[in-house]
């Protein structure tokens, strides 16, 4: 793990202080070559959000319009989330993918079994606030971005009307982003 990635891990450990964090690697696919030493942290349930929170460790070693790490919250513990973060981090290494704030990523499968949400909106980590969002370390600043599961119709709406319009609809409807079977906020 690089010094910058270690600073990001320390930042996350401080943010989720008092909760156990386990680290997982993903040995399938190209992530081992694109980001050597990449791992995913899983924060056990027990906080006020009652979620399993997953975050990338090592994506910040790649500079694409800044340095980023990614966070995904789930109502259930699943290795699928480690895979998802590995896929997102690998895509982030490819400048043609343009993974960054405001982008919509097509997972090609539901984020959780039985869910209609098979896309991720790369967003500001609203549920976690600015204390997680920014890690200022001696070697650079890491910007944590939230991967918000959205439906295909929400992804199309975002493409047509913009991120702010979709985020406004999600907020107006007080969407439970942890619910895998939540209905779409657009027809």
Helix (H), strand (E), coil (C) string for 42-68 = EECCCCCCCCEEEEEECHHHCECCCEE
Tokens of 152: 């295909």
**Residuewise pLDDT in 10s, the chain (187 residues):** 899 999 999 999 999 999 999 999 998 999 999 999 999 999 998 766 689 999 999 999 998 888 999 999 999 999 999 999 999 999 999 989 889 999 999 999 999 999 999 999 999 999 999 999 999 999 999 999 999 999 999 999 999 999 999 999 999 999 999 999 999 999 7
CA neighbours within 13 Å on the CB side: how many for 42? 20
Q: What is the pLDDT of residue 187?
A: 79
Among the listed residues 105, 51, 49, the one whose alpha carbon sits nearest the alpha carbon of residue 74: 51
Write down the residue that tokens 């966070």 correspond to: 71
Q: What share of the chain is helix, strand, coil (3-state, %, to 5)?
A: 30, 25, 40
> Mind giving me the DSSP string for 50-118?
--EEEEEESGGGSBSSSEEEEEEEESS--HHHHHHHHHHHHHHH-TTT---TT-EEE-SS-SSTT-SEE
* pTM of the full structure: 0.95
Residue 35 gets which letter from DSSP? S
CA distance 130 to 134: 6
Q: What is the pLDDT of residue 46?
A: 77
Taking phi over 0 as left and psi of -120 to 50 as alpha, with beta for the rest, 65 belongs to left
Q: What is the pLDDT of residue 47?
A: 64
Among the listed residues 44, 48, 59, the one whose alpha carbon sits nearest the alpha carbon of residue 9: 59
């Amino acid at each position: 793990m690089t010094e910058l990635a270690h600073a990001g891990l320390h930042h996350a450990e401080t943010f989720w202080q008092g909760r156990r964090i386990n680290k997982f690697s993903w040995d399938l696919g190209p992530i081992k070559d694109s980001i050597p030493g990449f791992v995913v942290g899983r924060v056990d349930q027990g906080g006020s959000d009652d979620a399993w929170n997953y975050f990338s460790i090592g994506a910040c070693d790649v500079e694409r319009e800044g340095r980023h790490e990614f966070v995904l919250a789930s109502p259930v513990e699943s290795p699928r989330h480690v895979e998802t973060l590995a896929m997102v981090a690998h895509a982030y290494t490819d400048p043609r993918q343009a993974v960054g704030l405001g982008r919509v990523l097509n997972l090609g499968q539901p984020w959780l079994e039985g869910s209609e949400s098979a896309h991720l909106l790369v967003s500001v980590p609203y549920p976690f606030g600015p204390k997680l969002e920014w890690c200022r370390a001696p070697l650079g600043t890491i910007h944590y971005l939230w991967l918000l599961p959205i439906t295909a119709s929400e992804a199309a709406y975002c493409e047509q009307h913009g991120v702010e319009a979709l985020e406004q609809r999600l907020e107006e409807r007080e969407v439970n982003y942890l619910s895998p079977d939540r209905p779409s906020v657009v027809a």
